[in-house]
Structure 1
Amino acid sequence: MARRIAERVWAPGALIPGEEVLAVEFSCARATVNRALQELARGGVLVRKRKAGTRVALHPMREARFVIPIVRQEIENKGGIYQFRLLSNKVEKAPVTVTKRLGLTKAKEMLHVRCLHLSDGKPYQYEDRWVNLDAVPSIRHETFETISPNEWLVTHSPFSQAEIVFHADLAGGEEAEILGVNEKDSVFVIERLTFVLQKPITFVRMSHPGSHRMVTQL
């Protein structure tokens, strides 16, 4: 149901099917449907009223505006030729710094994916990403041979909340080598966390050469 709302199958303000209809469609008990609807309503995704049914919430503008960019499209829209290189892709125990950022109390295994996005053959963005497999189990066996982690998540994993931090940093040794800059050169960093109904999905650090310019439209 969250996916249908995120993909606008059920548009903002739309009246969704009743519990009995959904129970039949999903082959589950009506009580299960009711609990799922209650959780979506608590997360502000649905609005439930007695005798009036359940509707998709009309999201505030600040939520409706935000779209996670697909790096490939970002580069192509600027006229560049896009490529990406997968640097690593493995399931491993996340460090404490990552679990804390995601609001998790215990260390756990997550998918750790690192890749480099290139524009016209030059480093554009280094992506260092941790994915909560409890939130997106289907990503575990993805090879990322033909699609980047960024694009896979945008198209496969809807979110209901995000936190974004922009800051300048100094490139570490490995990061500098990947981006083709000198160690301790300035880099432009975006850190993003996404959640679906309070469950963390992913934490990603995206670093660019210091000359990077970010342009957004509202």
Structure 2
Amino acid sequence: MQAPHDTAGAGAESAKASPLYGRIKADILQRIRKGEWRPGATIPGEVELARSYGCARMTVNRAIRELAGEGVLERRRRAGTRVAPFTGHSALLDIPRIDQEIERLGARVGYRLIGRKSVAADAELAARLDVAQGAPILEVTCLHLADGVPFQLERRWINLQAAPDAAGEDFASSGPNQWLLDHIAWSSVEHEVAALAAEPADAEVLGIARGAPILEISRRTRQGSRVVTLARLLHPGESYRLQARASVA
């Protein structure tokens, strides 16, 4: 293992301006993202890392503590430090970016568009999106991957009366989750969560056995009183957890 080193130009100035523990932290994260240390793998101990980086053990300790606090690493007494397994989490009171969720796991972001089509809202969809029957809707189905492993199957319906610019997006290289967060200022969100057995078609896309446990998150997002989008998000049951926080003013 080699110590993190500066490169020429602006990157070098940025690296020199960062404290050493921050550069070590970034280097460890980069090695995880490149697959040198896979999820669940034990990384070298602090003494060995300090020797390879040419620094004090306390400097390495701080970098590892911060990565553990962010959920990238797991510290286990007498068992060393390992890369956290894929156990993504989502805040129920917020709308997370799926690419950032995957990056926080130290994984490589992957994406595949499965289908995109314009449809007229039927009675059920019109009721869920609070639009008139026959209103124009964009339906997008896509798969998000973490290091090549299916992480989330996203089925989304976008109200084109609320987000007309979405009609011009092909979503070939990134999903509607990111586009909507970048272009639409949402004001409220509703979530419904269910534990289900994977249906054959969903199981095939997610790469799991038929009937295997999956977590379904149904999300409806509004801008003011208007529903902008409805999403059905499916995760393999053992790879995801939910998080919610609330406070009283």
Common topology (TM > 0.5): yes
What SS does the aligned partner of 2:94 have?
Answer: coil
User: What are the within-5 Å matches in structure 2 for residues 56-95 of structure 1?
Assistant: 66-95=93-122
**Which segments of 5 or more consecutive residues in structure 1 lack a partner in the other structure?**
1-64
Matching residue of 2:233: 206
Length-normalised TM-score, structure 2 = 0.58
One-letter identity of the residue aligned with 2:108: I
Which residue, out of 160, 177, 183, partners 2:210?
Answer: 183
- 1:200/1:177 Cα in 2 relative to 1: closer, same or farther (>3 Å)? same
* Distance in 2, Cα, partners of 1:147 & 1:90: 16
Aligned residues: 154
Task: Flag the structure with larger Rg.
Answer: 2
Kept after mapping to 2: 8 A contact 1:94/1:110 = yes
One-letter identity of the residue aligned with 1:141: G
Shift of 1:96: 3.0
Shift of 1:184: 2.1
Q: Establish whether residue 103 from structure 1 lines up as the match of residue 127 from structure 2.
A: no
Q: Establish whether residue 120 from structure 1 lines up as the match of residue 141 from structure 2.
A: no
Moved over 4 A (4+): none
**Which segments of 5 or more consecutive residues in structure 2 lack a partner in the other structure?**
1-91
What SS does the aligned partner of 1:214 have?
Answer: strand
Q: Establish whether residue 132 from structure 1 lines up as the match of residue 188 from structure 2.
A: no
Length-normalised TM-score, structure 1 = 0.66
RMSD: 1.7
Which deviations, in whole Å up to 9, do the C-alpha atoms of 1:148-202 show, x marking residues without a partner? 2110111111111111111111212211111111222221011100111111100
Which residue, out of 184, 204, 210, partners 1:157?
Answer: 184
Which residue, out of 196, 201, 205, partners 1:174?
Answer: 201
Which deviations, in whole Å up to 9, do the C-alpha atoms of 1:85-128 show, x marking residues without a partner? 00011111234332222233423220000000000101000000
**Amino-acid identity (%):** 34
